[in-house]
Structure 1
Amino acid sequence: MLEVRGLRAGYGAVEVLRGLDMAVAGGEIVAVLGANGVGKTTLNKVLSGVLPAREGEIRFDGARLDGATPAAIVEAGLIHVPEGRRIFPTMNVRENLELGSYRRGRSRRAANLERVFETFPRLRERARQFAGTLSGGEQQMLAIGRGMMAEPRLLILDEPSLGLSPLLVEEMFALIQRLNAEGLPILLVEQNVVQSLEIATRGFILENGTFAMSGPAATLRDDPELRRIYLGL
């Protein structure tokens, strides 16, 4: 569904992404993994149209998306749940969710809202509560739920486990698996190498703007170099 070829991007004179090639097929969870500052957020910004690509191609379901506006990318069904949740704290839970269907899925807003509430019962309980008063885990549920309101054809999750307790991290990865099992392809961008590779189909290890390693998740999990660099084993 998503194909990236020769992607280069950066800020001013600084080049951050240096010729990335990757793809996400229908039904997959593909993990892009790496430490802070290696280019993960820059990649997401380019895929979402917030930051222009300097070189390369981005194709979504065969159509070129490099150069498209963020609104057009959302309308195509490529939905990005950003790092840090980016909810609207002074709006209630329901209002935050409804904003997710502003560009896509508006005609089925009621049905999609019910689906989100079925997926996240705690959000139903807190539908009239200000989003800023939710716990960190509930805010992450809200951010993902808002993405679901746009009827994603592919969902980009940027650091969904960031700042969560170990128990909530387990719940979050179980949720990602469940969404994928329901037919939603997911691009999972994370620092959590171990748990991401447990649920992913394939993985890409990003270092200094290039993919240092890539392959089936099971192969990467057992790679001694990966275990040495990222797991300290």
Structure 2
Amino acid sequence: MERTDHILIVDDDAEIRTLLQRYLEKNGLRATAVADGRAMRQALDRGAFDLVVLDVMLPGDDGFTLCRELRARSDIPIVMLTARGEEMDRVVGLEMGADDYVPKPFSARELLARIKVILRRARSLPRNLQPEEERSIRFGGWTLDTVHRHLVSPTGVITPIGGAEYRLLRIFVEHPNRVLTRDQLVELTQGREADALDRSIDVQVSRLRRRLGDHADEAVMIKTVRGEGYVLTVPVEKEGA
């Protein structure tokens, strides 16, 4: 029998929790709803979940803090709910490792569609994105360990990398010397259509460059192609298991 995906909803609004839980269950998913970070941790300790729907505005630890905590302990997909829908909230959420965001007020139908896209992507990554295909990837003096998900600098310093940054870097090293448009990067890393006014992918590229010491004004690894997108210009070497 096919396993039913289990969604964890974290929102302090009881009406929203009830609405989402009932709607997701009506559409063939399992759903558990909790009100805060403490209850979220307890739920995660008790059982396995396939995706977390996480509100930004929560009592105690806010959604950004919980997103960072989740990403440090697992690769579980995260969809963030933001009351204001401001671009900075979206950017911060994605930088913390969220897979997508939905501004409030939102349509339960749209949220369900986004959840299904993310779950489908998580289970249907191309073979060249599966971590078991290669244990390490070397580029520009850096090494990406795909098993332990950390970066090793040219001087040997080990730095954990996860969430949006990891997915973005994987896309670049899997497509070296190929110009990738912003729309392509959004679709490949976040599984959604790009908003023409959404510049979050630029922020993520800038953050990744800083991590790699590849500054935008004199980038040597991830270069900007004006009017098109970005390209990784250094050689890439892969080592298998």
TM-score (norm 2): 0.29
Greater Cα radius of gyration, structure 1 or 2: 2
Larger RCO, structures 1/2 (Cα 8 Å, 6+ apart): 1
Structure with bigger strand share is 1
TM-score (norm 1): 0.30
